[in-house]
Structure 1
Amino acid sequence: MDKPRIGFIGVGLMGHGMARNLVEKGFPLTVMGHRNRAPVEDLLSRGAKEAKTPAELATVCDIIFLCVTGATQVEALVRGPEGIAKGAAPGLHIVDCSTSEPTLTMALHAELKAQGIEMCDAPLGGTPVQAAEGALSAMVGAEPAAFEKVRPAIEGFAAKVIHVGGPGAGHTMKLLNNFLSLGYGAIYAEALSIAAKVGVTPQTFDSVIAGGRMDCGFYQTFMKYVLERDVNAHRFTLSNAHKDLRYVNNLANATGAANFVSASVKNIYAAAEGLGRGAWNVPQISDVVAEMNGVSLGEVPQLKAAE
């Protein structure tokens, strides 16, 4: 059976590895131009083709993957004047791998369904390295028939594919996953600052926590920065963290849920971005909270964005 024709928008840190896996596994691939030409040219050298607009891409694809920043970009790519909806024919499946707003996904699904187009969401767990290795996890929100249609392509870059519910359910699960990790980041930062207030160093703090019940993969990458000052230990910016937590709070508001903790965590990352630290990576929230407390956890290895 012929493999479906794949379109890909957003071949950045994560998207490039995902798209490379697809083209190398025999999926006919067309990508849309990216401000960084290097990943586009790499994919073209491997056999991919290029489209100039989302509408043009839609005319030559069966499945289109989106891997962009968030809801604003997704909405423009689908609903814009040269958006996917303008060039799509019935039977097209759109799979949003971004961390976006569930309410937008559900709204797009409802309006595109009338055109015979399926909107699915498949946000990701993992890193750019895992994307290149085809070892991501995907939380898929889709109608059952649509899930079966897109699953083989998702399996091209994801080792773990879980159908978590209907359209929007994937984005909901991704936001909750990110809330857990970013919440831990805020807790680690505050705990480290309190420790520093009484002269307990990050090294001593880690010697107690590492290997215990509160140790985990996120703790390890977070503390790799704190202890080694490796800014690339966890490459996810504070501005993106703030965006995801805004989405969590929006979801809580839309559902009428009480969200005492996520509101507080959101405000910690909002403060960091407000102080001009949005380009810093997540573990560096420890330095922001330390600065607010008048202590230092170590030399900050990059200049403040505001300077």
Structure 2
Amino acid sequence: MSKDKAGTVGFIGLGVMGEPICRNMLRKSGRDFLVFDLNDAPLQRLAADGARLAPGIASVADAVDLLFLSLPGGKEVEAVCRAPDGLLAKARPGQIIVDMSTAPVGLTRTLAEEFAARGAIFCDAPVARTRQAAIDGTLSIMVGADEATYGTIRPLLEHAASEVTLCGPVGCGQIVKIMNNMVLFQTVVALAEALSIGGKAGIDEKVLLETMSKGSSDSFALRNHGMKAMLPRSFPDEAFPTDYALKDVSYALDLARDVGVTADGAQLASDLLKRSSDAGNGRAYFPALIRLLDAQGK
């Protein structure tokens, strides 16, 4: 890397997770950050933290040798990379693009091949846990990369996470993230059913969850999604929305089909999330699917 570019880090995508991730990297690393998003509000907040603002994607790509993406999904990642003046068009030998979005495994591996043809490196580093974890810098990050690339990007990733794991070559971070979310969505469906059935049968829902947390059904989902969102029926729009969950479970179902597995549990979660979105919960925090069950029976 050239001396001046080595010190500057690019970051594109400053949404629910991207903004706090970028802020933690910026504050803790002491590095110069050049950032871009279509929304001006997070740009101005990060500028107050010392980030430099870029006018567009191309200007970030031209200025840095290390660039992070945090976008809503595969469609946006593909658009940013394959636009006429996008990241692929600007890619050069030695440049590293780290995709922290959740995106399809096939797309990730295909983009990696296309960047490699230009001498650049494209790797995946999707994140798990909540927005609060992103703010606190305690995410879990799953990386798909070679050992050398992992060694280069890990110090910055550690500013945003309490756990950073090299899962294997490119695409393997996405596999773990997609499976993680698939299990989470199915668990939240089970929690919604337990709360609805238990509550209608006469048990205090708080007692139900607190007691379950002491037994074999305890889980991260129960203690976070269950107790902090489903119990108080609090589903803010600024959390992980139902439509994003639908996107992620679709990646799991696509991957299942690719490897010849019938994922009935994931399909059930997808169906319930779709019904929840159709009922007006598309932007709401995805555990809002319990509202469908609340409306049934007594």
Query: What TM-score does the superposition give when structure 2 sets the normalisation length?
Result: 0.91
Structure-2 residue corresponding to 1:127 = 130
Q: 1:13 to 1:207 in 2, by over 3 A?
A: closer
Structure-2 residue corresponding to 1:38 = 41
Distance in 1, matches of 2:43 and 2:231, equals 36
Identity among equivalent pairs (%): 32
Structure-1 residue corresponding to 2:62 = 59
Structure-2 residue corresponding to 1:194 = 197
Letter in structure 2 aligned against 1:287:
R
Q: Answer whether contact 2:246 2:270 (CA < 8 A) is retained.
A: yes
Distance in 2, matches of 1:158 and 1:242, equals 25
Letter in structure 2 aligned against 1:83:
G
Q: Answer whether contact 1:234 1:283 (CA < 8 A) is retained.
A: no
By how many angstroms is 1:122 displaced? 0.3
Q: Answer whether contact 2:91 2:115 (CA < 8 A) is retained.
A: no
Unaligned runs of 5+ in 1: 296-307
Structure-1 residue corresponding to 2:268 = 264
Segment drifting more, 42-51 vs 244-253: 42-51
Structure-1 residue corresponding to 2:139 = 136
Letter in structure 1 aligned against 2:22:
A
1:84-126 CA deviation, whole Å, 9 max, x = no partner?
1122221111111111111100010111101011110001123
SS of equivalent residue, structure 1 residue 13? coil
Which of 245, 252, 257 is the equivalent residue of 2:256?
Answer: 252
Distance in 2, matches of 1:21 and 1:274, equals 36
Letter in structure 2 aligned against 1:285:
L
Unaligned runs of 5+ in 2: none
Structure-1 residue corresponding to 2:72 = 69
Distance in 2, matches of 1:153 and 1:84, equals 21
Structure-1 residue corresponding to 2:291 = 287
Q: Pairwise mapping of residues 91-106 of structure 1 onto structure 2 (< 5 A)? A: 91-106=94-109
Structure-2 residue corresponding to 1:161 = 164
Segment drifting more, 224-233 vs 86-95: 224-233
2:242 is the counterpart of 1:238: yes
Structure-2 residue corresponding to 1:300 = none
Query: What TM-score does the superposition give when structure 1 sets the normalisation length?
Result: 0.88
SS of equivalent residue, structure 1 residue 190? helix
Q: 1:228 to 1:102 in 2, by over 3 A?
A: same
1:40-62 CA deviation, whole Å, 9 max, x = no partner?
11222333222222222111111
